[in-house]
Structure 1
């Protein structure tokens, strides 16, 4: 914009190019989360009202956590690296905005019975793409 010399009103996302902010900027230069997460860690919002300012990316992650969701799913939906998501989630955990639960191998591991509803939904989704 000609009357916007600082570029303050430029969009952060572009339909063609995608994300226009580097992940390093989103995590404020931090490369390690303060809490332990793996890709299968399940995260859910607590409903606590946050005080203070958080970035748009924190708000987007918190929105995705309204229902239990894995770290991998958040990374996929936001198109951000998992490491950056883990840093943002650490910020939210420290503010009691989300809680994290480890993936439960007893109910989801290799010896668990398959979830037929999930398998049917997966099959139906794949058939729609063919």
Structure 2
């Protein structure tokens, strides 16, 4: 046996927080959605409802899912959520896609991306800005 390996194994056991990513994602290596980028903004849905208006009952949530829902009570980007959870972005995207799929989390492009896509009228924003400056 290599003595260096024994020390590494003891260090992992001593830390107690070496959870493998495939355990958290239940073996999945890619999210169900491919539209989640580092700057996608996520927000927890306060009163989730299905297409018929019935309350959504979440499936079994892992501790990481619950932490994401708690974190996203205030809008947060994918990168922020990953950093707060101390998880790899790829793992975080899988967990986020689970929650979006269950209707517990909303995902949208940040305002600058929506603006570039034509979703926001720049003249309206300029008028609001000018009005605020006059106050």
Shared topology, TM-score over 0.5?
yes
SS of 2:64 mapped into structure 1:
helix
1:42 aligns with 2:41: yes
Match of 1:30 in 2: 28
Match of 1:113 in 2: none
* Pick aligned residue for 1:70 from 74, 77, 80: 77
SS of 1:39 mapped into structure 2:
coil
Contiguous gaps of at least 5 residues in structure 2: 1-11, 49-55, 117-135
TM-score (norm 1): 0.64
Deviation at 1:88, TM superposition (A): 0.4
Q: In the TM superposition, what whole-angstrom CA distance separates every residue of 1:2-52 from its partner, at most 9, and x where no partner exists?
A: xxxxxxxxxxxx9x8373211111011111111220001000001236433
Match of 2:64 in 1: 57
Contiguous gaps of at least 5 residues in structure 1: 1-13, 110-130
- Residues in 2 aligned to 1:64 and 1:37: alpha-carbon distance in whole angstroms: 17
How has the CA–CA distance of structure 1 residues 28 and 44 changed in structure 2, closer, same or farther, with 3 Å as cutoff? same
CA RMSD, Structure 1 to Structure 2 (Å): 2.5
- Residues in 1 aligned to 2:21 and 2:40: alpha-carbon distance in whole angstroms: 21
- Residues in 2 aligned to 1:81 and 1:90: alpha-carbon distance in whole angstroms: 14
- Residues in 1 aligned to 2:94 and 2:62: alpha-carbon distance in whole angstroms: 13
Match of 2:107 in 1: 100
User: Aligned residues, how many?
Assistant: 95
Q: Could you say which structure has the higher helix fraction?
A: 2
How has the CA–CA distance of structure 1 residues 107 and 52 changed in structure 2, closer, same or farther, with 3 Å as cutoff? closer
